[in-house]
C-alpha cells in the first residue's frame, strides 16, 4: 500500500512539474523568470529551509542586523525561484543574443586551443545551470555531476532539460555517487574536462575551514588535478540587473606543489568563493545546510 501511495505521489508531482514547465515554455524568458522569483520570495519563508538559510546567513554575517539577514535570504529565495523557472527555458536562454556576457576568455584561450583537460568549478550562485551548456558551446567536452532527485520521473525530466540545452554530444551529466566517480575518471582519461559545484556539504569529504567554520568538503577532484597535472579554473557567475548574466573565467590554478596538501589547496579555493559570496550574498543558495 505504501508503495502504491508513493508511486501515485510521484506521478502527481511529475504531472504538476510537466504542466508548470509547459506554461514556462510558452511565456517569454524574462517573464517566467520573474514569476519564479516572486513566487519563491513570497512562499519560501514558510518552508523549513528558510530557518536553515537564516542560520547560515547569520553564521557568515554575525554582525548584521536581523532585518539585513532577512533581506539577504528573501533575495536568495527570489534568485532560487528564478533559477528553477529558467531551467524550463534553459535551451531558449542560449538563443538570446548578448544575454550572457563572458569575461576572462584570455585565461582559457590556451587551454581550449591545446585541448587540455581542465577542472572547472563554481558554486550555487546566480543561475548555476548555465555553466555546462555554456562550456559545451565554447568547445569544451564537459562531464558534470548532478544530485539525483528522489522522484525518478522528475529526475529524468529535469535531466532531459539539461541535456537538450547542450549543443554537442561530447558533453554529459552523471549522477553523484559511484557512477559519477567512474564517469569522471573515464572522461579525464579521454582528455575531457569536468565541471563541479563545490560549495555544498560532502559527508565523505575532508574537514576544511569555510567562513571560519570547519565543514565537510569534497577534495577528490584535487587528487585528480594533482595526479594528471590538470589546471583548475574558477568560474564566477553573476546575475545582472538587466536580466542577463556575467560569467568570468579566473586564472587557472595548478595543484602541483608537493609541499601543498589537498586541504591547503581547498582552503585557497574556499577563500575565492567566500569573496564571491560576500560580494553579493543575495545570489547564493543559503538554503543548503552547509554548516552542519
In a domain, 290, yes or no: no
**Count of structural domains, the chain:** 1
In a domain, 176, yes or no: yes
Question: CA–CA separation, 132 vs 106, rounded Å?
Answer: 19
Question: CA–CA separation, 53 vs 143, rounded Å?
Answer: 30
In a domain, 274, yes or no: yes
Cell (9 digits) for 108: 582559457
| HEC string for 129-165 | HHHHHHHHHHCCCEEEEECCCCCHHHHHHHHHHHHHC
Taking 70 as the threshold, does the pLDDT of residue 27 lie above it?
yes
Domain extent for 178: 2-283
- Extended strands (E) in the chain: 100-103, 119-122, 142-146, 172-175, 193-197, 206-210, 213-217, 232-239, 245-249
Mean pLDDT of 189-197: 94
pLDDT category at 209 given cuts 50, 70, 90 is: very high
Cell (9 digits) for 262: 589537498
In a domain, 224, yes or no: yes
* pLDDT tens profile 229-285: 999 999 999 999 988 999 999 999 999 988 999 999 999 999 999 999 999 999 999
In a domain, 289, yes or no: no
pLDDT for 1: 67
pLDDT over 90 for what percent of the chain?
77
Average pLDDT, the chain: 93
In a domain, 291, yes or no: no
Ramachandran region of residue 212, left (φ > 0), alpha (ψ -120 to 50) or beta? left
In a domain, 25, yes or no: yes
Question: CA–CA separation, 46 vs 44, rounded Å?
Answer: 5
Amino acid at each position: 500500500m505504501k508503495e502504491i501511495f508513493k508511486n501515485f505521489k510521484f506521478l502527481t508531482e511529475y504531472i504538476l512539474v510537466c504542466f508548470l514547465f509547459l506554461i514556462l515554455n510558452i511565456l517569454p524568458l524574462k517573464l517566467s523568470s520573474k514569476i519564479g522569483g516572486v513566487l519563491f520570495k513570497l512562499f519560501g519563508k514558510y518552508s523549513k529551509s528558510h530557518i536553515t538559510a537564516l542560520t547560515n546567513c547569520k553564521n557568515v554575517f554575525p554582525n548584521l542586523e536581523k532585518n539585513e539577514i532577512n533581506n539577504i535570504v528573501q533575495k536568495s529565495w527570489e534568485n532560487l525561484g528564478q533559477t528553477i523557472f529558467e531551467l524550463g527555458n534553459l535551451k531558449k536562454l542560449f538563443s538570446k543574443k548578448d544575454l550572457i556576457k563572458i569575461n576572462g576568455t584570455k585565461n582559457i584561450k590556451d587551454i581550449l586551443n591545446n585541448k587540455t583537460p581542465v577542472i572547472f568549478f563554481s558554486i550555487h550562485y546566480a543561475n548555476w545551470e548555465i555553466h555546462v551548456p555554456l562550456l559545451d558551446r565554447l568547445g569544451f567536452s564537459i562531464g558534470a555531476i548532478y544530485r539525483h532527485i528522489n522522484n525518478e520521473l522528475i529526475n529524468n525530466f529535469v535531466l532531459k532539460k539539461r541535456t537538450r540545452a547542450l549543443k554537442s554530444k561530447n558533453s554529459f551529466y552523471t549522477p553523484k555517487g559511484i557512477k559519477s566517480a567512474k564517469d569522471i575518471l573515464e572522461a579525464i582519461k579521454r582528455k575531457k574536462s569536468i565541471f563541479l559545484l563545490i560549495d555544498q556539504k560532502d559527508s565523505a569529504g575532508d574537514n576544511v575551514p569555510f567562513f571560519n567554520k570547519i565543514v565537510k568538503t569534497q577534495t577528490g577532484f584535487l587528487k585528480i588535478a594533482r595526479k594528471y597535472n590538470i589546471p583548475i579554473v574558477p568560474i564566477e557567475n553573476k546575475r545582472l540587473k538587466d536580466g542577463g548574466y556575467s560569467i568570468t573565467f579566473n586564472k587557472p590554478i595548478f595543484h602541483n606543489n608537493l609541499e601543498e596538501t589537498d586541504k591547503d589547496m581547498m582552503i585557497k579555493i574556499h577563500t575565492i568563493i567566500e569573496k564571491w559570496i560576500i560580494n553579493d550574498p543575495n545570489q547564493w543558495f543559503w538554503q543548503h545546510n552547509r554548516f552542519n
